Structure 1
Amino acid sequence: MKENTVLSIDELILVESKTKRDELVFKDDVLDKVKFVATLSDLNEVTVEMSANYYEVSTDTVQSIIKRHRNEFNEYSEVRVLKGKSLADFKTRVQGEHAFKGINSLSLLTRRGLLRIGMLLTESEVAKSIRNYLLNVEEISSEEQRKWALEREITKRERRYLTDAIRDFYEGTLKKGFEYSTFTNLVYKILFDTDANGLLKMYDLDKKDVKRCTKY
């Protein structure tokens, strides 16, 4: 993610004010409204790497935020560090424990800890959507209005991804692995609010029909 996110005045207050963050951190259901949260089974916690994947930033960025605001995270028990026996117990409890072999310590964040990161993280479009939802959408009374505002916020983020991808394509810097199908689905999402499979069902087509259409 490119570090060119511009903060509004309200966002800046949220980033700078612990008091404001404390007022909103219990609204961790916002996380799933903006983007699905994958947590460790049975624990409802995430690793630093999982947090970085959620906000689409590097693990170093997340680690830096936790280190800088360690007292704030500790005050509300939003982060815990596993070592020794507690880490050994964790490895035997969590499925896929082989992924944690060879490590001597592991930091885990609660959902509220993950939300607090979003309120502090300035170089993430996902975090920006989180803050906008907290500061603007939650104040709207009508359920339909809130749904519309959330969809609008997510679409704004997707549109930014698309324009960045188009620019990178023409500059020859499009990331490897951003396959044609992924790029095309992003276009479909912006234009039709669905993906390629959704269009197939909508117009009762099969895949070869869509491929023919993309040639013209």
Structure 2
Amino acid sequence: MTMDLTGSPIDRQNILNNPDFIENIQVFLGITGMLYDGEYRFTTAQIADFYEVNDRTIRRYIESSERELIHNGYCILKGQKLKEFKQLFGHIIYSDIDEVPQKDIDVPLSKQETDKQKLNRLKALAVFNFRSFLNIGMLLTESERAKSIRSTILDLVIDSLNQKVGGQTKYINQRDEEYFVAILREPEYRKEFASALSRYLDMGNAKYSIYTDAIYQAIFHENASDYKQILKLEDKENPRETMYAEVLKLIASFEIGIADEMKFKYEELNRKLTPLELNDLIGKFTQHRFWIPQLEDARIKMASRDYGFREVIHERLEKYIQSIPSSDYQKFLGDRSKTLQERIDENIEVFKRLKER
């Protein structure tokens, strides 16, 4: 799967939401601008000049993708902020003023005015920060320079990810410190569910895999074999070792919740449940309204992270794919992220106590 930067808002946002990458590519490209309010800024004319297109082309993209560009830092300076900006950079933007469109100003400009008079009459000015500068470059199809930068971006994205995770994203979920907590607790919840199946369900040993799949289907619409095929896991690999902490926690909630419901039903009937009765119980359990936000959150996280980090699509969850938030980049690739082995080494005494239980 390859990113489609000109056609996919999610692919663009997945790159623009990665703060470390934005900083690295800015250094790599050597692009600065006018430093204002903690960020480098660029006028419409400067953007057009860099990408070697005319101003009208840039304005057309602003009109068609304004919400996205604003989200990534494009803005129109007015009032006190514009006054400050003109005081700092008026001498630089003189040449841009004649080309500023009506959207950027609310006073018509006369060509007979001096540069200083034009600047004084300027009441609004559109500016881009570096994120929205890149955003425009991802959108522009008319610019060869933009095309070249898109290629550079994709190469750097792959390189930075490979450097961080050694080219192996299959277990990127384990870099989250919450995963470490989840796997410490998971065996106890799993054991409780397996015990309930043994005590309260009248069925052979196939029930353990069948009803594990039933929970997977309820949460993310895939059974274990579907999931392993999508992530290209080997037969010996455990799917749960590749699942995100939030998904593991929701599976655990389902397992202990269904275990309790099975016990209540067993005591009510004074006999073991049939498979049909357990199927009905799981169906009703899943339909409880308090699960709706948790199920939606887990599906969004699984679908979006696997698309962005692992470059795979869960077809049954495709409608849940969103851009990866900046917080997730910090969680899985930032300073607080570590391999599972690093966390085990830091908490070896905890693992020793667990083993002695």
Q: TM-score range by the shorter chain?
A: 0.5 to 0.7
Amino acid at match of 1:54: F
- Which ranges of 4 or more aligned residues in structure 1 deviate by more than 6 Å? none
Give the C-alpha shift of residue 33 in structure 1.
3.0
Give the C-alpha shift of residue 91 in structure 1.
1.0
Amino acid at match of 1:18: P
SS at match of 1:90: helix
2:57 paired with 1:61: yes
Q: Distance in 2 between matches of 1:60 and 1:80?
A: 17
2:91 paired with 1:96: yes
* Same amino acid, percent of matched pairs: 27
Larger radius of gyration: 2
RMSD of aligned Cα (Å): 2.5
Render the CA deviation track for 1:151-203: whole Å, top value 9, x for unaligned: xxxxxxxxxxxxxxxxxxxxxxxxxxxxxxxxxxxxxxxxxxxxxxxxxxxxx
In structure 2, what is the equivalent of residue 40 of structure 1?
A: 34
2:6 paired with 1:15: yes
In structure 2, what is the equivalent of residue 70 of structure 1?
A: 66
1:82 pairs, out of 77, 83, 105, with: 77
Is residue 91–residue 97 contact of structure 1 (8 Å, CA) maintained in 2?
no
Does 1 or 2 have the higher relative contact order (CA < 8 Å, sep 6+)? Answer: 1
In structure 1, what is the equivalent of residue 147 of structure 2?
A: 128
In structure 2, what is the equivalent of residue 51 of structure 1?
A: 47
Change in CA separation of 1:33 and 1:124 when aligned onto 2, cut-off 3 Å: farther
2:57 paired with 1:30: no
Q: Structure 1: which 5+ runs fail to align? A: 1-8, 143-216
Report the count of equivalent residues: 131
Amino acid at match of 2:86: K
SS at match of 1:14: coil
Amino acid at match of 2:5: L
Give the C-alpha shift of residue 137 in structure 1.
4.3
Give the C-alpha shift of residue 30 in structure 1.
2.4
Normalized against structure 2, the TM-score is what? 0.33
In structure 1, what is the equivalent of residue 233 of structure 2?
A: none
Normalized against structure 1, the TM-score is what? 0.53
Change in CA separation of 1:38 and 1:56 when aligned onto 2, cut-off 3 Å: farther
Change in CA separation of 1:33 and 1:139 when aligned onto 2, cut-off 3 Å: same
SS at match of 2:42: strand
Instruction: Please give the residue correspondences for 1:109-148 in structure 2 after superposition, counting only pairs within 5 Å.
Output: 109-140=128-159, 141=162
Change in CA separation of 1:37 and 1:53 when aligned onto 2, cut-off 3 Å: farther
Amino acid at match of 1:91: K
SS at match of 2:34: coil
